[in-house]
Amino acid sequence: MHSVVCIKQVPDSAQIRVHPVTNTIMRQGVPAIVNPYDLFALEEALRLKDTLGGTVTVVSMGPPMAEAALRKCLSYGADDAILVSDRAFAGSDTLATSYALTATIRRIMANMPVNLIFTGKQTIDGDTAQVGPGIAKRLNYQLLTYVSKIVDVNLEKKEIRVERRAEGGVQLLKTSMPCLITMLEGTNEMRFGDLDDLFRAARYPLKIWDREAAGIDDVEMIGLKGSPTVVNKVFAPKPRSERAEIIETQDDDPKNLAVTLLAKMFTQNPKLEREIAKRAR
């Protein structure tokens, strides 16, 4: 059983600021972390390793500083880690990123078959949720998105059953392997790394691949040249000037309280009352 987990090092979104003049993201002093959604994917891969055995390989595309994120994943119990880093990747959008990661996974598959590929549902810096599906499309793999639980893995039949969160409820899906899974948040809890894994992560000879080592020959498909997405504007949300209004009432009965609130709403917005009345007919 061989699982590949794609992770990304991202700035801590809780501490990101936007420059008031240039409207650019200020990354100075903002700590870098492993994308939180990717940790759910890593934990699920490690759980499968615990029950079925095998190997977990963690892959990330990014600058040299992303090595810290990969070593963090090794400390949790991942077996191998590969950093795909090259100046040619600078400016890559999700299309170019999925191309580079697909080429890397193909190079991994040349040495060891891959049964499952895991990603988080999205990243907290881009929130596009496009890289995972992009990899699945390029590899022609079955895609299972927003997976909340892996029910069963049958290595002999090369089948997997999962529960997938959908708008109407939960879907139970079965498909063949290999496939790509994007894990939903809150599906598990990241384990603590033991002392042996912590020491191993610090000493591990991390693999660092440039574009040639990753098997990428066409530079037109990566970096800015391979990225049709253009960021037009970055801005911080404007703070609301109006304050919340406190409505006091002497009646604690929920029905009368609702009537009071509705009367207040309709007084401030007469059009809303007319629109509701039309829909109620």
Q: Do 265 and 167 fall within a single domain?
A: no
Residues 41 and 104 grouped into a single domain = yes
Torsion of CA 101, 107, 108, 114, to 10 degrees: 80
In degrees and rounded to multiples of 5, residue 16 shows phi and psi of -80, 140
* Longest pairwise C-alpha distance within the chain: 74
Residue 97 lies in a domain: yes
Tracing tokens 């990304």 back to the chain, one arrives at: 8
Same domain (yes/no): 75, 130: yes
Q: Is residue 232 part of a domain?
A: no
Q: Is the domain of 186 the same as that of 262? A: no
pLDDT of residue 270: 83
Q: Is position 70 within any domain? A: yes
- Cα gap 126→31, rounded to integer Å: 17
Same-domain status, 166 and 262: no
Per-residue model confidence (pLDDT) at position 117: 97
Name the residue range of residue 173's domain.
2-221
Instruction: Look up residue 7 and give its DSSP letter.
Output: -
Q: Are residues 25 and 67 in the same domain?
A: yes
With a CB cutoff of 8 Å and minimum separation 6, the contacts of 106 are: 139, 215
Q: How many domains would you assign to the chain?
A: 2
**262 and 150 in one domain?**
no
Pair (143, 187) in one structural domain: yes
Same domain, 135 and 215: yes
Residues 43 and 96 in one domain: yes
Whether residue 62 is contained in a domain is answered as yes
Q: In angstroms, what CA-CA distances link 72 with 33, 59, 66, 191?
A: 9, 12, 10, 12
Q: Do residues 253 and 141 touch, judged by C-beta distance below 8 A?
A: no
Q: Identify the CATH number of the domain in which residue 117 sits.
A: 3.40.50.620
Instruction: Please state the φ and ψ torsions of residue 107, each to the nearest 5 degrees.
Output: -65, -40
Task: State the CB neighbour count (10 A cutoff) for residue 251.
Answer: 10
- Residue 16 is predicted with a pLDDT of 74
Q: Evaluate whether residue 233 is within a structural domain.
A: no
CA-nearest of 122, 181, 172, 128 to 151 is 172
Both tokens of 207, joined, read 């693999």
Q: What is the pLDDT along the chain (281 residues), one digit of tens a residue?
A: 999 999 999 988 777 777 677 666 666 778 889 999 999 999 999 999 999 999 999 999 999 999 999 999 999 999 999 999 999 999 899 999 999 999 999 999 999 999 999 999 999 888 899 999 999 999 999 999 999 999 999 999 999 999 999 888 899 999 999 999 999 999 999 999 899 999 999 999 999 999 999 999 899 999 999 999 887 777 777 777 777 777 777 777 888 888 888 888 888 888 888 888 887 76
Please say whether the beta carbons of 57 and 4 come within 8 A. yes
- Residue 250: the pLDDT is 74
Looking at residue 167, its pLDDT comes to: 85
In a domain, 51, yes or no: yes
Does residue 91 form part of some domain? yes
Cis bond upstream, residue 178 (ω within 30): yes
Q: Are 164 and 173 in contact (CB under 8 A)?
A: yes
**Judgement on whether residues 98 and 28 belong to the same structural domain of the protein:** yes
